[in-house]
Structures are given as structure tokens and as C-alpha cells.
């Protein structure tokens, strides 16, 4: 071997040894630069390369004052798997971070409570590793951010993690795009873990892996947003083991599929979005579906629709009938000009119906504006009615409508036992808009539109009594809504609804002279829906039938009004009326009329 070759070999071995020596010295130096946490410690100064180790039970550390603690590898760790009662708190504005392939917080099997209002970050690896732990608690407040370019919160290494509690009101996300890109991940045999994503909380990922992975016998409750931002065809929630429960609440959204692993059993998907909320979720695997509000959930994948537009047709038909009767009564009780000449009135009504969770009655507000016209003929009165309004349901469902109706009123009809009778027919054009919660679009919500018509007929008769005996009447009405499709998910079959009402009413004249009139009216109305009480519909092609609750088919209404009119010149008068209604369907209605009568 030549001397030159020996020199070259010596130089190469020297460089390797020197490099190895530098690594050893750097590692020793890092390990030597460590601080033990034995009691209550506060960190309010920026620090690099220091490792913080919980070496006693019931110790606590607080990072505050907009401080940044950063290290290449494990930043906060516990030195013993049996360590208990320790707490780490990061205040708003402060950051703890690691920059290489390691964990920012490593529980190493011990008990730790983490309360974060600042930022927990890992540039390369896990922000929090709870592997082998039992009972770790993580609270991420509204200003808190927990992020990594890998699996952000990991619980599936080694022997796994059990009984972990994660309560999120801030952001938990992974910006990774590789094979480790979940925001929260547990192994299929990790049990007893609980994840709660509160309103305003965001949990999301950007890779092909599931955003959240649950093990077995664990729970996930979402009122915020859980998103797989890579694609809506990727998984947002994956259940790897058995007997997990996922509850989707309030106005919370999910973007991406919900999957139960092959061969798993006992997994439940529950909905708690509120009575009448429309939703459709694309699911894979076997789930037991349950709506905690009592809404009908259709399996295929999982969907429900508020029945308000169909359920309240009989109620709206009843209120229209009451309005018509009150209008005719006001005309009959006004004897100015001996009922000669036309009569016209404008009116507006505000109605509120409260929610009833037992009968699934949806809450809504109704605001309308209309005009009624009547003109006497030889032995009858010709009637025209126009109305427009908005029926605004509580769960992001609104129907705008316009109605036109016409008919005949015959006072003292000698062909029908001398009763006051009327018959009218009309058409209502309706424009519906509902917001559907769905995991099939990137926003988590989609607007579904509908345009449909409702045709109705009203027939009534009344016996006018004298003195203290109230007038007695009966009204029958029928409504037909043809089949129609909404723009997203839902379609409806033809619906026929009928009402039969029996009522008592009376009028009290308070003031009556040649120039003005004041009277009070009341009416007690007992209504029952008749005919078919079922609605056939489909959700994304899966057919279902909704049967209206019996309590919604019957209604007792008590209404009262005060009417004032005044003669203004030779052949015309003006007036106004105040109107109120209470019903057994938890409705309260207040309205007003302004009317004008002219002898023409």
C-alpha cells in the first residue's frame, strides 16, 4: 500500500470521526441543556434549544408574555410513564415549536393536562404525541392553534392511547400532504377517547388521509367544522374500530366522507341539528343512524328534510279561511250606504309559531301583505283577494309566496236554508329556499331551491243569530300541491290536504251613528285536517314517507278584532281594524287592516 493512499485513507477516516464526534457533542449538549419542572414554573422569555422535563407529580408550566420556546426535538416531555397531575398552559400570543422530526409535546405514557390559547407547532413531526398514555386532556381555546406538517395529534404509536379528551374551540390542523396528514389520529384498538369540536372550532387537513381517525368505543361530537380540504371525496371522519359514536350537532359542518371501517360493528351516527334541519351526508360502511331531535332520518347514505312546507299547508289554509270570514263579516257589519258600492281593504299580518319537539312542529314567522275587494251584484257579492308573504322557518328554510283568489258570497242564501254562504278558489305560487348541511361540497352547506304551486278551494256557510246567541258557521277547504323537485337532494309527491272547521262568532256594536261606527268581534274556531296525512318524498333517490303527527292536524283558534269606520264625504268612508289570534298550535298572530268603501 503506497504512502499516498494511506494518507488519503487517514484523511477520510478523520473526517468521518470528526463528523461523528460533532454529532455526539451536539446531542450531549442538547441533552445537557434541559430544565426540570418540579413545581410551578412560568416562562416569559424567548428561548432556543432548552428541553423542559416534568420530573415531579402535580407540577405545572405556563408559557406567557408573547414568548416563543423553540427546539429541534422534543420540547416538553415527561420523565416517567407513571407521572400524574401535570399541567402545561400556553397563553395567547405565545408559541412552543419544534423544527425537526420529533414531537413538540411528548407525554410518553404519563398523565398531562394541556390548555392552549397560543400556538403549538411542529414543522416536521407531531405537535402532540399521546402514545401509550391514559387520561391525557387537551383543551384548545378559541385563540388556540395546534398544527403540524404531519399527524398533528398522534395517539397510535406503540401501545396506543386511551381515555384521551380533546376539547377544541380553536384550530387543529395538518398541512401535510403525505401518508401522515391527519389532524387527529388514533389506532383501531385505542379506546375511550373523546373529541368535542365546539361551535367556532375548526379541525382540518390537506392530505389524502382522514382528517380525524377514531379507534374503538370512542366519541366525536361536532358543532364546529371538520374538513378534508384535499377533496370532498376524501375522508373527513374514519372509524377504524367498533362501537364508536359520532354526533353532528347544531349548525356544525363536515366536508369529506364519513366512513366506518370494513367489518366493524356498533358504530353510531347521530344527528342533533334541531327540529326541521335539512341535511345529507355521504357515508361509507355500516352505521346505526339516529336523529336525537326526532326528525325522520333516511338511510342512503344519511339525510333528513324539514317538513315545514308540507306540514303547515293545512294551517296556512285555515288562516286564509279565517281572514276571508273576517273580511266578509266586516263588510256585512258596515251598513253605510245600505251595502251599495264597492269595498276594498289593505291588511298586513305578523304571525309566530313556536317549535314543539314532541310533535316536530317547526318554528316559523309569517309576514304578509294583502288586499281584499268586494263588489255587490244582484243577489250576491263578488270577491277578489290578493296576498303576498314570507314564511320564514327557524332552520334556514324560507318560502316566499303570492296568492290570487276569487269567488262569490251569497248573503241569506234562499237556496241553502237562508244561510250566508261563500265559495272561493285560488292559486298560490311559492318559491322555497332551504340550506342543507352536507359533506358533499367544500362549503359544507348547499342552497336548495324549489318552485311550486298550491291550488285551493274554500266553501263556507254561517247562520246569523240575534241578541246573545253567537253566530254558528262551518268551513271546508281543500288544497292540492302537485309533485315537484327541489334543486338539490329532495323531491316531493303530490299532496292533497283538507280542513273542516266549525266556528262560533259574534259582533258587538259599541258606537253606531250616521258618520262613524265602532264594533268588536270575536271568533272561536275548531279545525281538523281531513284526508291523507302522509307525504311521500325522496332524498337523493331514496324514497320515504312522512306521517304528520296527530297533534298537528287539530287546532283551536281564538281571534278578536276591533273595527272602526268613519264617513268622510257623500259616498265614501274609511276605516281600520286591529286583529289578534291565539291557537293551540303555539301560534300568536297580530294584524291590522285599513279599508276604504265607495258607493260606485
pLDDT at residue 154 greater than cutoff 50: yes
Write out the H or E segment, with its range, that includes residue 426. strand 419-438
What CA–CA distance (Å, rounded) separates 252 from 233? 19
Average pLDDT, the chain: 90
Q: What is the mean pLDDT of residues 517-532?
A: 90
Cell 262568532 sits on residue:
505
What was the pLDDT predicted at 595? 73
Q: Are 153 and 183 in contact (CB under 8 A)?
A: yes
**Alpha carbons 55 and 69: distance in angstroms, whole number:** 19
> Does the N-terminal peptide bond of residue 301 adopt cis geometry, omega within 30 degrees of 0?
yes
DSSP string, 118-146: SEEEESSS-SEE-TT-BS-EEEE-TT-EE
pLDDT exceeds 70 at position 136: yes
Give the pLDDT of residue 157.
57
Confidence band of 90 (pLDDT split at 50, 70, 90): very high
222-235 burial, b at 16+ Cβ within 10 Å, e below that, comes to bbbbbbbbbebebb
Higher local confidence (pLDDT), 53 or 550: 53
Write the CB contacts of 528 (distance below 8 Å, at least 6 apart in sequence).
499, 500, 501, 553, 554
Condensed to tens digits (0 to 9), the pLDDT of residues 66-78 reads: 999 999 989 999 9
3-state helix, strand, coil in the chain (%, to 5): 10, 55, 35
Three-state SS for 564? strand
Lowest mean pLDDT among 111-115, 158-162, 584-588, 591-595: 158-162
Cα separation values, 116 from 11, 63, 126, 185, 357, Å: 52, 10, 16, 19, 38
CB of 588 closer than 8 Å to CB of 552:
no
Q: Is a pLDDT exceeding 90 seen at residue 532?
A: no
What angle (nearest 5°) sits at the alpha carbon of residue 183, between those of residues 269 and 444?
Answer: 55
Residue 373 CA to residue 595 CA, distance in Å, equals: 10
pLDDT exceeds cutoff 80 at 13: no
Contact, 314 vs 499, CB < 8 A?
A: yes
Which residues is 347 bridged to in the sheet?
Answer: 370, 593
**Stretch 333-342: mean pLDDT, rounded?**
65
pLDDT of residue 29: 44
Q: What's the whole-model pTM score?
A: 0.88
Whether 577 and 564 have beta carbons less than 8 Å apart is answered as: yes
- At residue 30 the predicted structure's pLDDT band, cuts being 50, 70 and 90, is very low
Residue pair 595/577 in contact (Cβ under 8 Å)? The answer is yes
Contact of 174 with 149, CB cutoff 8 Å: yes
Task: Kindly tell me the burial class for residue 1, based on how many C-beta atoms sit within 10 Å of its own C-beta (0-12, 13-18, 19 or more).
Answer: exposed
- 545: DSSP letter: E
What is the pLDDT at residue 309?
78
Q: How far apart are CA 130 and CA 135, in angstroms?
A: 9
> Per residue in 377-398, pLDDT tens?
888 999 999 999 999 999 999 9
Q: Within 13 Å, how many C-alpha atoms sit on residue 557's CB side?
A: 28
Alpha helical stretches, state H, 365-454: none
Backbone angles phi, psi at 380, to 5 degrees: -155, 180
Q: Which grid coordinates are listed for 190?
A: 385505542
> How many angstroms separate the CA atoms of 108 and 55, rounded?
12
What is residue 105's three-state secondary structure? Answer: strand
Does 22 have pLDDT greater than 50? no
Taking alpha carbons only, the member of 336, 342, 345, 388 closest to residue 367 is: 388
What integer is the mean pLDDT of 316-339?
A: 82
* Better pLDDT: 494 or 338: 494
Residue 102 pLDDT:
84
Phi, psi of 320 (to 5 degrees): -65, -40
Kindly give the pairing relationship between strand 554-569 and strand 516-530.
antiparallel
At 7 the pLDDT is: 55
Helix (H) or strand (E) holding 23: helix 3-32
299 in Cβ contact with 282 (< 8 Å): no
Please tell me the distance from the alpha carbon of residue 580 to that of residue 189, in angstroms, as a whole number. Answer: 62
Sheet holding 184-186, edge to edge: 34-37, 51-54, 76-78, 105-106, 128-129, 153-155, 184-186, 212-214, 235-239, 257-260, 283-284
Alpha carbon distances (Å) from 66 to 94, 96, 350, 556: 4, 11, 53, 64
Name the residue with higher pLDDT: 533 or 507. Answer: 507
Burial class (CB in 10 A: 0-12, 13-18, 19+), 99: middle
Q: Give me 444's grid cell.
A: 359544507
At 27, the pLDDT band (50, 70, 90 cuts) reads: very low
Place of cell 396528514: 181
Please give the span between the terminal C-alpha atoms of the chain, in angstroms, as a whole number.
131
Q: pLDDT class for 104, splitting at 50, 70, 90?
A: very high
What digits encode the pLDDT tens for the residues 562-579?
A: 988 887 766 677 888 888
Task: Please state, in angstroms and rounded to a whole number, the distance separating the CA atoms of residues 140 and 127.
Answer: 13
Q: Among positive and negative, which fits the CA dihedral 307, 309, 314, 316?
A: positive
* CA-closest candidate to residue 175, choices 125, 243, 236: 125
Amino acid at each position: 500500500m503506497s504512502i499516498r493512499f494511506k494518507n488519503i485513507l487517514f484523511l477520510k477516516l478523520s473526517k468521518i470521526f470528526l463528523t461523528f464526534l460533532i454529532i455526539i457533542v451536539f446531542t450531549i449538549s442538547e441533552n445537557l441543556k434541559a430544565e426540570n419542572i418540579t413545581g410551578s414554573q412560568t416562562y416569559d422569555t424567548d428561548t432556543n434549544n432548552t428541553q423542559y422535563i416534568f420530573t415531579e407529580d402535580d407540577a405545572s408550566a405556563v408559557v406567557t408574555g408573547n414568548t416563543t420556546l423553540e427546539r429541534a426535538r422534543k420540547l416538553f416531555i415527561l420523565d416517567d410513564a407513571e407521572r400524574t397531575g401535570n399541567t402545561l398552559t400556553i397563553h395567547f400570543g405565545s408559541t412552543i415549536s419544534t423544527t425537526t422530526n420529533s414531537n413538540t409535546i411528548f407525554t410518553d405514557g404519563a398523565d398531562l393536562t394541556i390548555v392552549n390559547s397560543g400556538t403549538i407547532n411542529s414543522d416536521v413531526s407531531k405537535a402532540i404525541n399521546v402514545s401509550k398514555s391514559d387520561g391525557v386532556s387537551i383543551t384548545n381555546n378559541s385563540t388556540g392553534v395546534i398544527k403540524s406538517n404531519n399527524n398533528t395529534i398522534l395517539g397510535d404509536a406503540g401501545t396506543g392511547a386511551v381515555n384521551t379528551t380533546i376539547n377544541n374551540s380553536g384550530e387543529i390542523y395538518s398541512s401535510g400532504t403525505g401518508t401522515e396528514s391527519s389532524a387527529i389520529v388514533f389506532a383501531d384498538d385505542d379506546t375511550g377517547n373523546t373529541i368535542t369540536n365546539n361551535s367556532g372550532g375548526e379541525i382540518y387537513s390537506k392530505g389524502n388521509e382522514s382528517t380525524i381517525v377514531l379507534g374503538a368505543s370512542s366519541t366525536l361530537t361536532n358543532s364546529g367544522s371538520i374538513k378534508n380540504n384535499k377533496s370532498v371525496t376524501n375522508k373527513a371522519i374514519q372509524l377504524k374500530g367498533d362501537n364508536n359514536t359520532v354526533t353532528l350537532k347544531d349548525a356544525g359542518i363536515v366536508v369529506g366522507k364519513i366512513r366506518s371501517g370494513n367489518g366493524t360493528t356498533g358504530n353510531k351516527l347521530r344527528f342533533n341539528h334541531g327540529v326541521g334541519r335539512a341535511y345529507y351526508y355521504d357515508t361509507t360502511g355500516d352505521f346505526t343512524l339516529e336523529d336525537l331531535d326526532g326528525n325522520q332520518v333516511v338511510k342512503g347514505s344519511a339525510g333528513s328534510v324539514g317538513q315545514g312546507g308540507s306540514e303547515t299547508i293545512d294551517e296556512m289554509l285555515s288562516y286564509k279561511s279565517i281572514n276571508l270570514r273576517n273580511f266578509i263579516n266586516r263588510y256585512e257589519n258596515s251598513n253605510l250606504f245600505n251595502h251599495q258600492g264597492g269595498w276594498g281593504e289593505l291588511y298586513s299580518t305578523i304571525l309566530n309559531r313556536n317549535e314543539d319537539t314532541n310533535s316536530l312542529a317547526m318554528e316559523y314567522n309569517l309576514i304578509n301583505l294583502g288586499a281584499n275587494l268586494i263588489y255587490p251584484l244582484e243577489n250576491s257579492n263578488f270577491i277578489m283577494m290578493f296576498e303576498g308573504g314570507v314564511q320564514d322557518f327557524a332552520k334556514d328554510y324560507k318560502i316566499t309566496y303570492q296568492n290570487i283568489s276569487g269567488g262569490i258570497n251569497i248573503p241569506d242564501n234562499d237556496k241553502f236554508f237562508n244561510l250566508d254562504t261563500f265559495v272561493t278558489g285560488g292559486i298560490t305560487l311559492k318559491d322555497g329556499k332551504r340550506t342543507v348541511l352536507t359533506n358533499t361540497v367544500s362549503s359544507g352547506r348547499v342552497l336548495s331551491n324549489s318552485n311550486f304551486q298550491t291550488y285551493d278551494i274554500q266553501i263556507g256557510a254561517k247562520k246569523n243569530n240575534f241578541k246573545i246567541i253567537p253566530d254558528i258557521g262551518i268551513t271546508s277547504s281543500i288544497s292540492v300541491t302537485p309533485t315537484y323537485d327541489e334543486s338539490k337532494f329532495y323531491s316531493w309527491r303530490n299532496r292533497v290536504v283538507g280542513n273542516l272547521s266549525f266556528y262560533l262568532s259574534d259582533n258587538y256594536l259599541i258606537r253606531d251613528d250616521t258618520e262613524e261606527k265602532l264594533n268588536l268581534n270575536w271568533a272561536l274556531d275548531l279545525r281538523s285536517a281531513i284526508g291523507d296525512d302522509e307525504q311521500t318524498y325522496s332524498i337523493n333517490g331514496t324514497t320515504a314517507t312522512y306521517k304528520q303527527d296527530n297533534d298537528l292536524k287539530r287546532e283551536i283558534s281564538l281571534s278578536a278584532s276591533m273595527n272602526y269606520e268613519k264617513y268622510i264625504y257623500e259616498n265614501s268612508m274609511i276605516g281600520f281594524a286591529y286583529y289578534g289570534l291565539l291557537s293551540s298550535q303555539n301560534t300568536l298572530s297580530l294584524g291590522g287592516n285599513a279599508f276604504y268603501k265607495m258607493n260606485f
